[in-house]
Structure 1
Amino acid sequence: MQQNVSYTPKTAAHWRVEDIDFSAIDRTLVADNEDLFFLLMSASFIETGSDTYAANLAEHYAAWPEIADWLTTQWEAEELQHGRALRAYVEAVWPAFPWQQAYDSFFAEYSQLCTMEELYPDQRLELVARCVVETSTTAYYHTLRDLSDEPVLSQMLGHIRNDEVNHFKHFLKFFKEMQDESPVGRARIARALYGRLKELRDSDTEIALRHVWAHKGQYFSATTGLLEERAQHIYELISSRLPADLAVRMLLKPMLLPQRVEGLIRTPISKLATRVLAHG
């Protein structure tokens, strides 16, 4: 496979965690929101652990230096910044939560999933899978932003969402360039899309929720029921607010379909994606 893949680096100044005024957080708007507690804590764990996955991806694309360089210099750096920002926010709002202890227990389990064997052997299909993940995270942060009116949180989540959209565009661009050089059939692309979509609920988010639950301590101690019930509630909350049209437009991009065909299948695909994310 030809390995001349290029990308266009961003030229605009990127946001920084240091520019966010966490002292301005209005805790009255978020501290009692149990859903945001679990969602933001889980996201802070997953983003903080992204360097392990980034290293695997960079190795996977070692024969494509431009992709590997972007993964290590931009993608990984921005994902880790998301983790720092989310951690700073949750520690400001819920200071008694033992974040480091909970993260360490999460990472001990999560890191076992971050192996080269988890990646598609075909680098083209792994780019397709990455498009699915970036679609999911874009929709996730879009939804989180809609769940709260807290200004600092809205600003931070807006920055993160925009980064995820940009990451999606890069992975899609790399995929298109590989397709131009050595095409993979649409049937295989569709299987990769659906396969990764089904996996979204079975790995990192589920693990993160479990470790947040185990370490929540005094927070929401009156909550009754089981972790499985809380997790199902969160999945249903996210799916009910999911910007389905946005997500499906992004999911269909790697199929490289004619516009007329894409328009015909967008609605049924939207219903399928929502059902998968809500019920697994």
Structure 2
Amino acid sequence: MDAVVTALPWRLEDIDFSRVDASRVKDDEPLFFLLCSASFVESGSDLYTRNLVDYYRDDQDVAGWLGLHWEPEELQHGRALRAYIEHVWPDFDWESAFNSFFDEYSQRCTLEEFEPTRALELAARCVVEMGTATLYRSLAEYAPDPVLRELTTHIRTDEVRHYKYFYLYFNRYNSLEGNGRMKVLAALVRRLLEIRNDDAVCAIRHVVNHRYPERANDQAYADRINAAARKLIQRNVSADMSVKMFLKPLNLPARMQSGIEVPLTRMLHFALR
């Protein structure tokens, strides 16, 4: 697997960072923290990929796609965001902050966090990809700088494509496991509620500790940063797209789906608050 080279859908090397208008973004603290936290999680995706590959190790179709496509694309997201951060905020020691984050993240990113069956874990992965597609679409809508808009649009397109693969594999496994809608819904909701905490919150805490050492371990300050970042996302979120992506693994009849889209839109906004 390691010897195979797959073409990426876009290349970081083709992004012209000389076009960055740093004056439009350098004083935007919520944006800075959002980009840093996203870059940390994306840059640590190889660890999560190894866990997923291990979980699906006897399925060469799923494991092969994860290792040859999903992982390289996720890692490119991390490199691209890091490059942008270092261009706009050159005084921030990205590597030290990331290493600190990864020391903690790697301890809790384990197979024990996965759903109990392969189909349900793939359904949960659809929620994660929905969340990242929502995040990057929001950032692309908000981005005051054209290069940031270009980057986040590329990443958002990748995340939507990843969602489609996880959904395809979910359907394949669920046809074998026969999980009912309630089991699938429970897995979806569990992962949706986790969007409120975990990786991004951990990442922002480490960004705060390295950008403002005097605020290290100041939970109240970190909470304010998280709230400001979530408000930025929420102001630019496409709830209709996100809810449709969330509901898709349930394969609901059209009338039933339309009846629950409104309360789920409220739940999504709660998750992003």
Please confirm whether the aligned pair reaches a TM-score higher than 0.5, indicating the same fold: yes
1:258 aligns with: 253
Q: Provide the aligned C-alpha RMSD in A.
A: 1.6
- Indicate whether 1:55 and 2:44 are aligned: no
TM-score computed with the length of structure 2 as normaliser: 0.92
CA shift, 1:87, in A, is: 0.5
Question: Displacement, 1:120?
Answer: 1.2
Matched, 1:157 2:152: yes
Is the alpha carbon distance of 1:277 and 1:13 closer, same or farther for their aligned partners in structure 2, counting shifts above 3 Å? Answer: closer
Contact 1:44 1:87 (8 Å CA) reproduced: yes
Aligned to 2:21, which of 20, 26, 35?
26
Measured after TM superposition, the shift of residue 25 of structure 1 is 0.8
Q: Does 1:270 align with 2:268?
A: no
Count of aligned residue pairs for this structure pair: 262
Q: 1:78-110 CA deviation, whole Å, 9 max, x = no partner?
A: 000000100000000000101110000000011
Which aligned segments of 4 or more residues in structure 1 are displaced greater than 4 angstroms? none
CA separation in 2, counterparts of 1:114 and 1:227? 22
Distance 2:86 2:190 in 1: 35
Are 1:97 and 2:92 matched, yes or no?
yes
Report what 2:134 is aligned to: 139
- Give the structure-1-normalised TM-score: 0.90
Q: What's the CA shift for 1:159? A: 0.4
2:67 to 69, 72, 77: 72
Partner of 2:3: none
The answer to whether the Cα contact below 8 Å between 2:195 and 2:271 also exists between their aligned partners in 1 is no
User: Could you give the per-residue CA deviations for residues 50-99 of structure 1, whole angstroms, max 9, x where no partner exists?
Assistant: 00000000000112110000000000010000001000000000001011
Residue 188 of structure 1 aligns with an amino acid whose one-letter code is K
Deviation at 1:275? 1.5
Q: Is the 8 A contact 1:91 1:97 kept in 2?
A: yes
Amino acid at match of 1:131: C
Which of 229, 236, 239 is 2:231 aligned to?
236
- Measure how far apart 1:183 and its partner are: 1.5
Identity %: 46
1:183 to 153, 178, 181: 178
Question: Larger helix proportion, structure 1 or 2?
Answer: 2
Code of the aligned partner of 2:197:
D
AA aligned to 2:258 is: G
Residue 180 of structure 1: CA displacement? 2.4
**Which residue identity is paired with 2:90?**
P
Residue 216 (structure 2) aligns with: none
